């Protein structure tokens, strides 16, 4: 009988690559610090060691998959994925250990640490972050600052209109987004989508509950690729009155890259959205809620004419994407909303449209809950009293047409 109450696995990806200037340099990247609290893998306590190791093997495969599409472009790359540290403890002390690792994971990789493709950011042209959408560079377009909503700076956390609830969704679009759009339509609700341009890590999410896991993860691709479903979904958001906003091109920590990289993260997402909609957003949310003044991020986003949009109600849906765990997110929502008063309170809510349970369960729960309490489901711009014409800038070059 194995009394393990929790397991934490740290996995590092070690790449040995022959580069022209740096023969056989060893690049060690912590690409993913995966933490699996036991609640997610219910049968673990009864698992035999061999079954446990098989689970660890699956994780290694998943992590390899995240960067697999990049590796093909790296000449003579040898990839060694090693289980750097496997901690399996029995009896007491384990929960505490797992929590420590979780905190470290969030510090290292941010809240959605396994889902974004920003590994190897500085590595080479094959990295998602370094892909460039077609059409003209938006860096030189006019960026007038209109309206009364704060640009750059420490950012926005709250709506200004009591009774408003701004539901926001990060990281999409993805295969779960159309169902969310259907629900919003059914409930006559408006929401805001913070879109990531090139977010291949979502394949990992998609495969999360697939029993027989294979290593042939396909990337999600770029949002403006007309062969894919994403341009039509983004057009649908826009035409149905939802607010389309930016969540960067490849989801890096904006406080941890250079100023030019940071600006390109915004310009490239603008180019892709411009290719789809003919306009670029003035609202953004920084990945991992990270955009410090010291790094220059606040100032850069001010220069680029962006409203930095945070939230005051975090559903933690990304931590609860399973049929049993999603109740935690419902509880978080209820705990904040049930005791509130729409004549004095407002909510700026964060969730993620890349999670099945968010799409299947949480969104409708929130829509019913907010209607029951007489909140108005509006976009971020509306909840800030900012008219729709201020949500976008025009850049009509290189649009895809209808």
Ligand X SMILES: *[C@@H]1O[C@H](CO)[C@@H](O)[C@H](O)[C@H]1NC(C)=O
| Residues 115, 207: Cα–Cα separation, whole Å | 11
Residue with Cβ nearer ligand X (3 or 260):
260
Residue from 36, 70, 177, 356 touching ligand X (CB under 6 A): that is 356
Of 247, 307, 352, 355, the active-site residue reads 352
* Contact stretch for ligand X (CB under 6 A) within 41-49, 89-97, 132-140, 303-311: 132-140
Q: Is 251 a catalytic residue?
A: no
Q: How far apart are CA 277 and CA 401, in angstroms?
A: 9
DSSP one-letter code for 86: E
Q: Which of 188, 214, 239, 396 binds ligand X (CB under 6 A)?
A: 188
Say if CB 109 and CB 33 are below 8 A apart.
yes
Pairwise CA distance, residues 179 & 98, whole Å: 34
Stretch near ligand X under the rule CB under 6 A, chosen from 56-64, 152-160, 224-232, 346-354: 224-232
Residue 12 makes contact with ligand X by CB under 6 A: no
C-alpha distance from residue 120 to each of 10, 16, 28 (Å):
18, 13, 10
161 makes contact with ligand X (CB under 6 A)? no
Choose which of 35, 217, 245, 257 interacts with ligand X (CB under 6 A).
257
Phi and psi at 26, nearest 5°, equal -105, 115
Find out whether 200 and 251 touch, Cβ atoms under 8 Å: no
Residue for token digits 């003044």? 293
Instruction: Give the tokens for residue 136.
Output: 């003209």
CA distance 359 to 174: 10
Question: Is the CB of residue 278 less than 8 Å from the CB of residue 226?
Answer: no
Distance in Å, CB of 94 to ligand X, minimum: 28
Q: Cα–Cα distance between 323 and 91 in angstroms, integer?
A: 27
**Binds ligand X by CB under 6 A, chosen from 39, 47, 83, 132:** 132
Taking the least distance from each CB to ligand X, the nearer of 147 and 221 is 221
- Asked if 221 interacts with ligand X (CB under 6 A), we say yes
- Per rule CB under 6 A, count of chain residues that contact ligand X: 24
Q: Which is nearer to ligand X, 84 or 89 (CB)?
A: 84
Which of 50, 92, 144, 227: binder of ligand X (CB under 6 A)?
227
Q: What is the rounded CA–CA span in Å between residue 64 and residue 119?
A: 11
CA dist., res. 169 & res. 285, Å (int):
10
Nearer to ligand X among residue 157 and residue 209 (C-beta):
209
Contact 279, 392 (CB under 8 A): yes
Q: Is 170 a catalytic residue?
A: yes
Residue closer to ligand X (CB basis): 220 or 285:
220
- Among residues 268, 285, 352, 393, the one that binds ligand X under rule CB under 6 A: 268
Binding residues for ligand X (CB under 6 A): 132, 137, 139, 188, 209, 221-222, 225, 227-228, 256-258, 260, 264, 267-268, 323, 334-335, 338, 356, 360, 372
Active-site annotation, residues: 170, 352
């Amino acid at each position: 009988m194995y009394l393990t109450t929790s397991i934490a696995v740290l996995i590092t990806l070690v790449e040995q690559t022959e580069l022209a200037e740096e023969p056989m340099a060893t690049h060690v990247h912590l690409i993913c610090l995966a933490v699996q609290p036991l609640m997610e893998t219910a049968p673990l306590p009864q698992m035999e060691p061999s079954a446990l190791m098989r689970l660890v093997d699956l994780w290694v495969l998943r992590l390899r998959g995240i960067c697999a599409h990049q590796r093909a472009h790296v000449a003579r790359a040898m990839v060694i994925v090693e289980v750097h540290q496997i901690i399996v403890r029995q009896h007491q002390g384990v929960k505490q250990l797992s929590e420590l690792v979780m905190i470290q994971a969030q510090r290292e990789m941010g809240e959605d640490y396994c889902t974004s493709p920003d590994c190897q950011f500085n590595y080479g042209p094959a990295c998602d972050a370094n892909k460039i959408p077609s059409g003209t560079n938006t860096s030189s377009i006019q960026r007038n600052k209109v309206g009364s909503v704060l640009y750059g700076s420490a950012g926005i956390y709250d709506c200004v209109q009591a009774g408003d609830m701004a539901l926001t969704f990060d990281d999409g679009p993805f295969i779960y987004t159309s169902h969310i759009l259907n629900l919003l339509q059914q409930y006559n609700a408006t929401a805001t989508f913070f879109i990531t341009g090139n977010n291949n890590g979502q394949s990992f999410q998609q495969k999360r509950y697939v029993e027989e896991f294979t290593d042939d993860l396909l990337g999600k691709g770029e949002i403006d690729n007309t062969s894919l479903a994403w341009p039509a979904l983004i057009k649908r958001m826009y035409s149905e009155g939802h607010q389309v906003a930016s969540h960067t091109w490849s989801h890096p920590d904006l406080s941890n890259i250079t100023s030019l990289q940071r600006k390109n993260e915004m310009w490239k997402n603008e180019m892709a959205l411009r290719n789809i909609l003919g306009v670029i957003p003035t609202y953004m949310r920084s990945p991992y809620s990270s955009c410090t003044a010291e790094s220059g991020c606040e100032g850069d986003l001010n220069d680029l004419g962006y409203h930095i949009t945070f939230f005051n109600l975090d559903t933690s849906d990304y931590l609860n994407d399973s049929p049993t765990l999603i109740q935690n997110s419902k509880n978080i929502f209820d705990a904040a909303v049930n005791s509130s008063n729409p004549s004095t309170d407002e909510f700026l809510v964060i969730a993620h449209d890349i999670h099945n349970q968010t799409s299947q369960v949480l969104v409708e729960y929130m829509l019913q809950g907010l209607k029951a309490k007489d909140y108005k489901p509006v976009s971020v711009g509306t909840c800030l009293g900012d008219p729709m014409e201020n949500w976008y800038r025009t850049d009509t070059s290189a649009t895809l047409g209808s």
